[in-house]
Structure 1
Amino acid sequence: MSSSKMKLSESALAFLPKEILVQILSKLPAKSLVRFKCVSKFFCSLIVDHPFADLHRNWSLTLPSRISILISLPFDLEDARFHCSEENQGTLARFHYTINYSEESQGTLDANRLLYMDRNRNLFGKVYISSAVNGLICFCSFSRLGDAIAIHNLSTRHHISLPSSCPSVRRPSGNSITAFGLLGFDSVSRRYKVLKSVQFNDHDRSYRRHVSIKHWVFTLGVDESWREIHSSPSYYPYTCFNNQFYFHTSVHIDGVIYSLNSLNKGEIVAFDVRAENFQAIPPPPPSTMPGLVEGPPGVGSGRSGLVEVDGRLAIVDLFISANRDNLWRYGMAIWIFEESMVWKNQYLIFIPIPFEEIDHHNKRVLFVATNHVGEIAVLVKHNISVSILFYNFRRQSWRKFDICKLPMEPSMYPAMYFILDNVF
């Protein structure tokens, strides 16, 4: 656009009331709004205004085209530890892809490689995804020498490295730090917060190991440093260092971060993002569904995962069972946590994928998440391909996408996140 036309557009827009301008701009995608910020100081101040970002996010929730799927393909954790020594942390390979979809989409979808992430070793070479909320991604460091945490906006590519709250650990000392961040959204202040949990492993002169845990909170756009808080009950999340299925063990729902407690297996801890306090939630009772059996030898049935179902916390247990004809099949047993603080009777849903089509040599063949309209999405890893199935609770029906242009190897265990177009 020429400078004369640009000035004409600005002068024409200047006659519009600010309320109408806000409504028009809020319906634009985040990438377009980033360009608008460069037009004038007026547009820049309008778009970076906190209420505008809140309005834009609300619009994005109503538009299917504003939601995409992020696929992360890191190597197997055992291979990762082998390739990723403390001296050579940057050699760990990982790939990131986005997939655009809608409720009407069927058949085949293309995966788009995020080359800017995979090639930028300075920002993304030594980190892994810990959580994602509304298109903002929380990255943590693979290193056990510090507490580096960063927030990345996938829509605008804006990257924020959060300050440190712990002194770095020296390699020869034998001590280590494991830092893990979980992202949440305060529905009252409309601000994003990061809960950072750090486990300190210290050794005294007698080489006895002492473990301690501390927690901090950082409010994006407000805080300049971390604020320490105290946890009751004693809590520490699952991370890539203590559980290779860490991405199944936490979920953010309506201003609360729910996380499985690695210090008390089976217990769930709820962190209220606004009040910044913790509450323990008892696990659901053992499975009561008849006919659930162990799978055939050498085949893994997956692990429990936390997801959101109709705005409620839910636990999904992946299992394998045999029908009357002795044919194996995968399924999901789902418990839902009600407002009355009790677990609702579990649902039993079978996944319509032939058992023989799934890669059983890799036990991380299924990944479960929920999208913004309440559907359960199941990512299925085949031998050299991936498909995603969506289950609609209200319709009690499935739809399936086969993902193209997504390279798969036996050592890869894909993780899936739903990303909202967000200008914040």
Structure 2
Amino acid sequence: MEILSKIPAKSLVRFRCVSKFFRALIADHGFGVLHRSLSLTLPSRASFLISIEVRTRDGDDPPRRGYYTLNFSEQENLRRRRMLRANRVGFLDSEPFLLSSPSDGLICASKPNGDVAVRNVGMRQRIFLPRLNQYQGEDCALLLGFDSQSKRYKVLMSVQIVDEESRLISYEYKHWVFTVGVDRSWREINNYCYCPFFPIGDYPHCDYNNTNVYVDGVIYSYNWRTNHSLVPSIVAFEVGCESFSVIILPDEITSRSSYLLFKKSALLEVGGRLAIVFVHVPDLLDILRGGECLCYMDVWTWEKSKKCWEKITITIPLAGSRLIHNAKWMRFATNHDGEIMLLLYTYSEKFSILIYNLKGDAWSKFDISGVEKFQIFSSWKVTLHNIVDHVFPLE
């Protein structure tokens, strides 16, 4: 068991064919927990999944989607040349739109018709969850978290309530929970006050995955458009006891427009804590007038025991600031080495990544190759997911 727990999931898929004993052991619940715990400590088992949606200019054809993975530890030679190669994940091409991924690697996907699936990318395993009649397609948030007590994954579904007669949208929400591998149907939670953020037409440049994060048994998400306030706060969902609470954002953040908050910031896990990362980009007119062109990044971390925010401000070097100024899109992620990643898609139609190491207080920049160049498109939907290799059973 110790030897097999140190083997990547891709190899373990093949090893299931060795014998009935191997097959039973790899599918065992306890072995999945052991392999998952070890993967969280090994950088070689951590990677990033880039999802790209492309629509044609006329909009008649259905959107296409491409998936790529980045693994830093496997590309030491390229890293010396400040290059990283993205690897195409072809078996995911037929997958529906990705909605959520927790910090340890499973992804939750949904189709407009109400189908919901949970997939383990490393094992190429997928299960469909029962369809919920109240599911409203785009008016729905799907969030995925891990319950350390039951050792099971849970999916939280939140739907905005619509009056069937008047078709008016209220500021109340319904919530359901599904325990993967245990429940046969969705269980409703009677709480109408809180709403995890989901895609809204007012924010076409927002990455939905940067508005929520799973940290140590809690799913955190921007609490958006409730009866109490139109100003975002953070709603915390305890996966184990299935209860909600609210965290007030720092005044400096709530004073900014929601558009800038969702476009240039992210909820992330930094050093085992909930964090808000916000990138400040100087106004172009100020730069033309001779102002400062350097960008900088605020990192707010939530001290759970003290119930307060702690802030550090990091200056982004000139080369990185120029890259940010030339970026159409900005996506965020973190890894288990305490590094913050900024994935950038520039106007020259190239992908680059900026990495900040909190421990070493150092920036790195890499160009990304291997991503297909899509010639015809009118809009991009790019998401960045942190995934960890593990064989935790879904059934």
TM-score w.r.t. length of structure 2: 0.84
The AA in structure 2 aligned to 1:214 is K
Query: Does 2:345 align with 1:345?
Result: no
Question: Given the superposition, is the C-alpha separation of residues 386 and 302 from structure 1 closer, same or farther in structure 2, using an over 3 Å criterion?
Answer: same
Q: Does 1:234 align with 2:159?
A: no
Q: Any idea what SS the aligned residue of 2:295 has?
A: strand
Q: 1:98·1:112 contact (CA, 8 Å) conserved in 2?
A: yes
Q: Which consecutive residues of structure 2, in runs of 5 or more, have no partner in the other structure?
A: none
Q: 1:230 to 1:348 in 2, by over 3 A?
A: farther
The letter of the residue matching 1:398 is W
The structural deviation recorded for 1:210 is 4.7
Alignment partners' CA distance in 1, 2:190 and 2:318: 45
Instruction: Give the corresponding residue for 2:359.
Output: 394
Q: Deviations over 1:301-359 (max 9, x none)?
A: 94331111111111112211368952423321121111211111342332553555456
- SS of residue paired to 1:194: strand
Q: Answer whether contact 2:49 2:384 (CA < 8 A) is retained.
A: yes
Q: Which of 115, 131, 145 is residue 164 of structure 1 equivalent to? A: 131
Q: Give the direction of change, closer, same or farther, for the CA distance of 1:352–1:189 in structure 2 (3 Å limit).
A: farther
State the Cα deviation string for residues 171-226 of structure 1 (Å, max 9, x = none): xxxxx77332101011222211111112243441xx45254521111111211111
The equivalent residue for 1:16 is: none
* Cα distance in 1, alignment partners of residues 8 and 216 from structure 2: 24
8 Å CA contact 1:147, 1:177 repeated in 2: no
Deviation track 1:32-59 (CA, whole Å, cap 9, x = no partner) reads: 2112222322222211111100110122
Length, aligned pairs only = 369
Cα distance change of structure 1 residues 227 and 300 upon mapping to structure 2, 3 Å threshold: closer
Q: Partner residue of 1:139? A: 109
Maintained 8 Å contact 2:327/2:344: no
Instruction: Note the 1:248-259 alignment, pairs <5 A.
Output: 248-259=210-221
C-alpha deviations, 1:71-118, integer Å up to 9, x for none?
111237xx79x838xxx8xx1112111112129644111111112221
In structure 1, stretches of 5+ residues that fail to align are: 1-21, 170-175
Residue of structure 1 in register with 2:59 after alignment? 83
Change (3 A) 1:158 1:242: farther
Matches within 5 A, 1:12-411: 22-75=1-54, 83=59, 91-102=62-73, 105-106=79-80, 107-118=82-93, 120=94, 124=95, 126-141=96-111, 143=112, 146-166=113-133, 178-204=139-165, 207-211=166-170, 213-231=173-191, 233-239=193-199, 243-244=203-204, 245=206, 246-263=208-225, 264-286=230-252, 302-321=263-282, 326-339=291-304, 340-350=306-316, 352-353=318-319, 355-358=321-324, 360=326, 362=328, 364=329, 366-382=330-346, 383-408=348-373, 411=379
Q: 1:259 to 1:408 in 2, by over 3 A?
A: farther
CA deviation after TM superposition for structure 1 residue 129, in Å: 3.1
Deviation at 1:419, TM superposition (A): 1.2
Q: Structure with the greater relative contact order (CA < 8 A, sep ≥ 6): 1 or 2?
A: 2
CA 1:179–1:302: 2 relative to 1, 3 Å? closer
Equivalents in 1 of 2:274, 2:92: separation in Å? 31
Distance 1:100 1:329 in 2: 29
Superposed displacement of residue 386, structure 1: 1.1
Structure 1 residue matching 2:249: 3-state secondary structure: coil
Instruction: Tell me the secondary structure at the aligned position of residue 33 of structure 2.
Output: helix
Structure 1 residue 237: deviation in Å?
A: 2.2
8 Å Cα contact 1:178/1:199 also seen in 2? yes
Could you tell me the TM-score, scaled by structure 1's length?
0.78
- Deviation above 6 Å: which 4+ runs of structure 1? none
Distance change >3 Å, CA 356–CA 393, structure 1 → 2? closer
* Alpha-carbon offset, residue 270 of structure 1: 0.3
